[in-house]
Structure 1
Amino acid sequence: MKKVLILLLLFNYGYSQDISYIKTLDTIYVKFKEDKLQTRFVFPDDYKGFKERRYTINFSDDEKKEFFKFFFTEYLNSEKREKGIKAEIKIVKKAFLKKHKEEIIGIDFFQKYGIIKSTYEAFEKCKVIYLIDMNEKKKGKINLYEVTKWSSYHMGE
């Protein structure tokens, strides 16, 4: 009985989403916790008091230098700037993580599927990406930032 319980616990912690399901989503949540392979940079406030952020998820620490970058800026693109639509910041309860477990991916997902599949398949139908910043978790509340993505992988001609 103890062995079964241990296996269940290990399975829950090592859970990584299936790319076929993630490909169907229009909103994806990326869980981010700063460490050796995940870095973040928070820029100083601009003259309007708005902060920009850059989050980087490296696929490994070897010489390949494959990574994903997620950017949070006041406006995610020029079309939204023209319409006056600002990027969202949401503050949610910790229970959000359980409720949306199926839509949340993290570094394990990116390492499992690699740079090409992560770049061109996982976000294929995705319209909105929220980054879950676990570094800013306070009193059971977590910040979500609507972000844009950029990959170090580019298809050749």
Structure 2
Amino acid sequence: MSMQRHLQSMLMRAGAQVAGYRYVELNVISNWSGEVFTNAFEIQLYRAADGINRALNAQVAFTPEDFLTGYPPTNLVDGIGTVAGERTNDKRALWYPTSLPTSITLDLSQQVVFDRLRIYGGPLATRDFKSFTLSGSNNQITWDLLLSVASAPQTTAESFYTEWAI
């Protein structure tokens, strides 16, 4: 079996185990620079089968509520961070929190199923998320850990997003 086919098979099996969630929490623990700043253009939650971004225009709750003026967490889900599947260079599309760790909670407005997370990194790869967790809930009381990443790869000019099967 080819490596690509093997990876696709593993991703399909992983995706088959995902339940639907209304709320998704992203906890960013650290970045590559070790600074208290981090940034990203866009996050997407989708199913490999159809590629539809379930996080697009989700309601966003942010804790703590400190971010660089003009770079709110809503920028992560507005669709402006990517243009035709490529990262934009429009820095107005960034989310730029000023402390780590930090978290955001997305309200997807209804229970939805997704099996992929894609993060479009910011203009400085050293500020890409290094360690983070992703959790899902339907009541904001009980949370299921969906993904825990201790050492995410940095983005590059050729590879401007990172992606994980959930």
TM tier, smaller: under 0.3
Higher helix share goes to which structure? Answer: 1
Larger radius of gyration: 1
Higher strand share goes to which structure? Answer: 2
Give TM-score scaled by structure 1 length. Answer: 0.26
